[in-house]
Amino acid sequence: MHKAIVYVVSLSALALLMCSTAPAQMQIYGAWHCGSDYCTWASVRNMTDFDTKNHWIIDRGDGSGLPSVNLVILSFVQPLKLLNKTNDAGDVNGVPIGMNSAIVNYFTSHNIRVMLSIGGITYTSFWDQALSANPTQLGLNAAALAKSLGVGIEIDYENSSSPNLTGLQAFVNAYRSQIPYDATGANPAARLTIDLGAGDQWLTDITRYATVNWLNNAAPVLDYANAMVPNKQPNTSGAESNWQQHIDGKANYAPPVPPLAPNRFTGSLYIVTGHNPAPECNNFSASLENSTGSYVQTVAPNGAGTTHGLLGFMFWAAECQGTHSICTTPPNTCEAGAGAGAKTYNIPLPMPALRQN
């Protein structure tokens, strides 16, 4: 009798284990977008030209008419200009003139969610200045911008040595005073996220603070984080090792960095590297989004969260990210890499409500 009971319990445990390790549906599959001028968005785009250069994003080229991603993050808004509502040749009220409703609608009309990224490595000192001057007003201005364009906002504050966490908290408080956290994802402007290092060894103070105060499943304030790309494209084990640092935390650090729940972040890869097309752009079978896909869908929590799998992938970056890499424009578009991945992983369109546990 006792042996039979043990046998039944064991079968139940096995069934639970098999269920828990089933691949999770990727919910986020997106790209940062740098426009045609290396991330300044300082000119109004001709929409015919914009479509020619970016059509692969809204059409993965497999005959389905479906897009290659379900999220685009327009990069970057300069934080001090946003605080001061600067008007100059490239900005109106502190917002790059290229980040306008026509661009947003181009993507949202194809079920692609849109966000704006504030910061980036080039604008770190401007984050410092804005957070010292009036972080509350910066948060209020960011919330007003999000509402006006119907977009989410990403915090990309890349100060790894001495970040102004008090100011950053005031920014988040001000934003959330205008647009509360929304687990349903129904309000695009309620989507507020943050970029963290590829692993826990860079942006450590911000990672520690965000993990404890904003990315806790019991009381979330930010929707999720992006584990950014490292200084160069990793191999499969390198990418997975970086992401695992977030899941494990760093107990040996003083103070320690706690574990981050898998459902609270994405892993990021370069979509292009150097001056030649990369597999991540044009050859899914040879790409990192293919070789790391199993990890992204099945990695187990280790101290935070209860469900397996990261939220998905982010790619750096569409169109022209800089003078040292090729642009994702014809003839070097990314249907056969990122687009094929969207089909392979059956990326949901539009983006659904994100896992909360």
Q: Where are the beta strands (DSSP E) in the chain?
A: 28-33, 71-77, 91-92, 95-96, 113-119, 152-156, 192-196, 225-227, 265-270, 312-318
CATH code given to domain 26-344: 3.20.20
The predicted structure's pLDDT at residue 352: 97
Provide, for the chain, the percentages of residues in helix, strand and coil under a 3-state DSSP scheme, each rounded to the nearest 5.
Answer: 40, 15, 45
Band (229; pLDDT cuts 50, 70, 90): very high
274-326 pLDDT tens trace = 888 889 999 999 999 999 999 999 999 999 999 999 999 999 999 999 888 99
For residue 144, pLDDT over 50 is answered with yes
Question: Pick the residue with more confidence: 17 or 123?
Answer: 123
For residue 3, pLDDT over 80 is answered with no
For residue 2, pLDDT over 50 is answered with no
For residue 88, pLDDT over 60 is answered with yes
In the block, which residue shows the tokens 């800089």?
322
Distance (Å, whole) CA 39 – CA 324? 13
In the chain, % of residues over pLDDT 90 = 91
141: Cβ–Cβ under 8 A, 6 or more apart, which residues?
82, 83, 85, 94
CA distances from 29 to 10, 13, 123, 250, 293 (A): 37, 32, 25, 27, 12
The predicted structure's pLDDT at residue 18: 39
Closest among 288, 121, 291, 312 to 202, alpha carbons compared? 121
- What mean pLDDT comes out for the span 165-187? 98
Band (197; pLDDT cuts 50, 70, 90): very high
Band (192; pLDDT cuts 50, 70, 90): very high
The pairing of beta strand 265-270 with beta strand 225-227: parallel
Query: In terms of residues, how long is the chain?
Result: 357
43: Cβ–Cβ under 8 A, 6 or more apart, which residues?
36, 37, 90, 97, 98
The predicted structure's pLDDT at residue 12: 37
Neighbours of 38 (CB within 10 A): 18
- Burial tier of 34 (Cβ tally within 10 Å: 0-12, 13-18, 19+): buried
Q: Are 66 and 345 in contact (CB under 8 A)?
A: no
The predicted structure's pLDDT at residue 324: 86
Specify which residues 117 forms β-bridges with: 75, 154
DSSP string, 250-317: BTTSSSPBPP--GGGEEEEEES-BTTB--HHHH-GGGSHHHHTHHHHHHPPPSSS-SS-S-SEEEEEE
The predicted structure's pLDDT at residue 84: 98
Q: Are 351 and 184 in contact (CB under 8 A)?
A: no
The predicted structure's pLDDT at residue 22: 87
Band (17; pLDDT cuts 50, 70, 90): very low
Q: How much is the mean pLDDT over the chain? A: 94
For residue 15, pLDDT over 60 is answered with no
The predicted structure's pLDDT at residue 16: 38
39-86 pLDDT tens trace = 999 999 999 999 999 999 999 999 999 999 999 999 999 999 999 999
Q: Are 58 and 331 in contact (CB under 8 A)?
A: no
The predicted structure's pLDDT at residue 348: 98
In the block, which residue shows the tokens 């026509």?
102
